[in-house]
Structure 1
Amino acid sequence: MNKQIDLSQLPTSILGKSTPEPLLFSFDRKSSAHAGSGAIPIKPNEFKPRFSSALSETVNISKNRCLYVHIPFCRVRCTYCNFFQHASSKQLVEDYFEALMIELEWKAKQPWTQAAPFHAVYIGGGTPTDLTATQIERLGKRIQQLFPLTTDCEMTLEGRINRFDDEMFDKSLEGGFNRFSFGVQSFNTKVRRAAKRLDDKEYVLNRIQELSHSDQAPIVVDLLYGLPFQTNEIWQQDLEDFLETGAHGVDLYQLIEMGGTPMKGLIEKGKLPEPASTEEKAYMYKYGVDFMNEHHLNRLSVNHWARDNRERSIYNSLAKTTAEVLPVGCGAGGNVGGVGIMQHRTLDGYIDSIKAGEMPIAMMTQSAASSDLYSMIKAGFDRGVLSRRLLLQHAPQDLFSYLMPLFLHWQKNGLVKVSNDYLSLTLAGEFWAVTLAQGVISALANVNVRAA
């Protein structure tokens, strides 16, 4: 390994562009919501022995562990969503739920599972609140009965505000859920209708307000910026509306236009206006950051803020580092014992596997030798700070010094600030955080980086 990286060997996609306005023009566009890291596919005939081996381990396990349960149903497909799997129907949900309970029991009995407590549980989707109130309560209680959990384990239920009535809230609390994350995206009725979100502004605003003021558990809302019809004025009002609800936390995500979404088709047919450009989204992001600073919210990552310390966002923080995540359910993904797991995305494939007494694995990968290092890099950029000390924990080489030419290049371009042993992101760097993280990972991919 050379003492320092050779910038002449790096493409513009990593180096970025020198521009008077780095927030707007450092890179062409953000094309992914997450940075990737190389993993090697495992052959299907090895799925069972490899996973069984991982779940038999009780010694060499991560000190941070999470449980992810996937509910693959949605009543309506949002126009921007590329993850829609199944429309909700009562019988289909009931059949799936019973299969899910069986899988939970299987995985809870494994030696790996019982070897240490879980710090966070996340019920995601899809739309988990498309389950009945009774099913949600049963799911939460069963997880608590079967799995070792830390005394302060964060149990998050994700969902829509639509049909999330008092009975569902009360039964969720009875089930042990102590954090709720709602995909609001925008409070504006016109923007919501164009995105196929259910309910108008007044209902969503009032319901979030009621739940937040109940003080039963942290309420978190997701807001998207860059949606069709979402002008700067509407975005600014979305932020004011969030503040008015009293919700305990908020995520600000930019719209990533992905192929295959209904939105893309509607735009091509002229039925929806073009969403915001990258430059327009950059301004919206800046306004969001300034707004949160103005109102003194606590920043937990480059796109997540907490009103007070009740909102901790434990799952999101751990899942972005070296935590092991046990996946349960159709379409769930995770990683255990150095292998990545993606479960069957079709209901038939999932339920048939459960009925046959088999783990419902559709794809498995061997994590890259430097996967922990890459995870730490992604986590650092997500927090807005990368430190030499953390890099040294995962590689014996001084990668901070090795990457210094790239860091100084980015500093010259207005994306980062280098001070002593820390790389801090500027506002522009925060907007392009995923691109920068991917740039570091790609720059290291062709270098002989040994794991610590």
Structure 2
Amino acid sequence: MNHFEEYIAEWYDTIPEGGGTAASPWKIEWNDVPYKERDTRPLSRLKVLGAMKEVLFNGTPTQRAAVYIHIPFCRLSCTYCSFFKKKGDNKAQHEYVELLLKELESLSDKPYVKKSKISAVFFGGGTPGILSAGDMADILCAIKKTFLLAEDAEVTMESSLSDMTEEKMDVAIAGGVTRFSFGIQSFNSQVRNTVGRPYSREEVLKQLSIYSKKKADIIIDLIYGLPYETEETMRQDIRDAAACGIAGLDLYKLQLLPDSPLGKSFAAAGKCLIESEVQVFFQVAEEELNAIGAENISCSHWRMKQSERNLYNTIASGSDDLFAIGMACGGRIGGVSFMKPIPDAMYHSVVKMGMYCPMAAEKEGKYHAFFSALQSAGNRGIIDLSALEEMFGLPVAKLLMPLFQTWEVWGLLELIENQWRMTSPGRYWYRTMTRLILRAADYMCFGLPENTKKADWHGMINMK
């Protein structure tokens, strides 16, 4: 017996069968704890710049890659949000864009960048749609000068409806944007007002219907579990989305972030999300999505048009390169994961010196690609144990089959053509299930977890 098999046997002695206690597919008490990849190695600040130089001049890129452009400005203050964002006037936004252009220029002559093939570009934030049409055009032009984009590259720009105009959209499309993502959250006027979103349901429907006729796919985000949401408003949200002619939508469970205005108001009132009520919203949303023929291409994303690929999120959840451009955003290239500078002065300084230098970085470990593949499979809700074994040469089936067979009995998974696929309850629980899968893989590789201190990146992320 090798050490993998020994650790697998030990793992199943440490958790309840299935990782929790199930009364039904929807009523499960999980033994859930946070997961952090264990064999990453934080780099000292003195070594970060050297590590980046080594990658950019001597590294070998992954077969495909993505670019993330961070725009930290927001005009709106959404009550559920506590992400890093800035209030800024047109002058401040333009000055920031000038820094982005300089940063892109500094990368354009690097061998690693020249050899990288970009499959997806994502403008996130913040609210990228807040930028002027001229600034949008300048950034898009600079991206094409700096990076080699695939012919079918997906280029996405996030925005609120109130920050986007037809003029901006036309300029962005002319510059190469193929996809716009709008944070609608709900069509219902009362729900929207509660979370700080302008525009009534009628105005949202009108604007989305106009934008859907443009030569770009329109994607929207919906959140279930918001204040004043009901089963009927959730059903109507899906019907409204379909009526607008959009290409796809993300369906997210409300996360009560403690530092957000909504999180604070819940805490002050002694309230919390009631799991059974939130689950009903997810169930009825899926019923409506099935009724309109939408296809779930991940556990949180559905498409109404075949042109919709959700490619950036697929790449971001895997191990392919992710170039991060801008301040306060994370990326990874050449086996080094990193966080870009958060303080204004630090970001301004490194860009003006012509350096691509994160504020913190860590070297990815031996099994990073394996863990990333598991994460990506969990996000999709389709897990092929044989393919994973063949790809990584690890006893994946021996590790996960007992867990999956229990989840099959619980109604969370079903085996279809040698692939384990998440059911509707499985898609609801997919984050918890994926963490358990990753914890199992971690134990198989390293044995009993030890308490080790990891680099603190202040919880900053650059994914939706």
Structure 2 length as normaliser, TM-score? 0.90
Task: Please point out which of 14, 31, 34 is paired with 1:10.
Answer: 14
* 1:153 to partner: Cα distance: 0.8
Question: Is the 8 Å Cα contact of residues 88 and 130 (structure 1) preserved in structure 2?
Answer: no
Q: Which amino acid aligns with 2:242?
A: L
Provide closer, same or farther for how the CA distance between residues 233 and 84 of structure 1 changes in structure 2, counting only shifts above 3 A. farther
Equivalent residue number for residue 116 of structure 1: 116
Equivalent residue number for residue 382 of structure 1: 379
Provide closer, same or farther for how the CA distance between residues 57 and 434 of structure 1 changes in structure 2, counting only shifts above 3 A. farther
CA deviations over 1:123-164 (Å, ceiling 9, x no partner): 111100111111111111221122111111111111111131
Question: Is the 8 Å Cα contact of residues 96 and 347 (structure 1) preserved in structure 2?
Answer: no
Task: Please point out which of 402, 405, 420 is paired with 1:405.
Answer: 402
Question: Is the 8 Å Cα contact of residues 67 and 120 (structure 1) preserved in structure 2?
Answer: yes
Equivalent residue number for residue 453 of structure 2: none
Identity %: 26
* 1:209 to partner: Cα distance: 0.8
Matches for 1:14-25 after TM superposition, within 5 Å: 15-19=19-23, 21-25=24-28
Q: Distance in 2 between matches of 1:217 and 1:280?
A: 36
Task: Please point out which of 297, 313, 323 is paired with 1:316.
Answer: 313
Q: Which amino acid aligns with 1:18?
A: A
Q: Distance in 1 between matches of 2:363 and 2:56?
A: 15
Equivalent residue number for residue 239 of structure 2: 240
Question: Is the 8 Å Cα contact of residues 413 and 422 (structure 2) preserved in structure 1?
Answer: yes
Q: Distance in 1 between matches of 2:391 and 2:14?
A: 23
Q: Distance in 1 between matches of 2:113 and 2:281?
A: 43
Equivalent residue number for residue 27 of structure 1: 30
Matches for 1:334-345 after TM superposition, within 5 Å: 334-345=331-342
Equivalent residue number for residue 328 of structure 1: 325
* 1:12 to partner: Cα distance: 4.8
Matches for 1:262-411 after TM superposition, within 5 Å: 262-270=261-269, 274=271, 276-411=273-408
SS of the equivalent of 2:359 reads: strand
Question: Is the 8 Å Cα contact of residues 10 and 443 (structure 1) preserved in structure 2?
Answer: no
Question: Is the 8 Å Cα contact of residues 228 and 274 (structure 1) preserved in structure 2?
Answer: no
Equivalent residue number for residue 437 of structure 1: 434
SS of the equivalent of 1:180 reads: strand
Task: Please point out which of 412, 416, 437 is paired with 1:415.
Answer: 412
Q: Distance in 1 between matches of 2:385 and 2:122?
A: 31
Q: Which amino acid aligns with 2:42?
A: P
Q: Which amino acid aligns with 1:159?
A: S
Equivalent residue number for residue 163 of structure 1: 163
Question: Is the 8 Å Cα contact of residues 19 and 31 (structure 2) preserved in structure 1?
Answer: no
CA deviations over 1:248-280 (Å, ceiling 9, x no partner): 11111111122211111222344xx95642222
* 1:200 to partner: Cα distance: 2.3
Q: Which amino acid aligns with 1:240?
A: R
Equivalent residue number for residue 145 of structure 2: 145
SS of the equivalent of 1:22 reads: coil
Task: Give the aligned CA root-mean-square deviation in angstroms.
Answer: 2.2
Equivalent residue number for residue 41 of structure 1: 42
Structure 2's unaligned 5+ residue stretches are 448-464
Q: Distance in 2 between matches of 1:290 and 1:57?
A: 51
Provide closer, same or farther for how the CA distance between residues 360 and 262 of structure 1 changes in structure 2, counting only shifts above 3 A. farther
Q: Distance in 2 between matches of 1:209 and 1:169?
A: 14
Provide closer, same or farther for how the CA distance between residues 333 and 125 of structure 1 changes in structure 2, counting only shifts above 3 A. same
Provide closer, same or farther for how the CA distance between residues 189 and 274 of structure 1 changes in structure 2, counting only shifts above 3 A. farther
Question: Is the 8 Å Cα contact of residues 158 and 181 (structure 2) preserved in structure 1?
Answer: yes
246-255 or 309-318, larger mean C-alpha shift: 309-318
Q: Which amino acid aligns with 1:143?
A: I
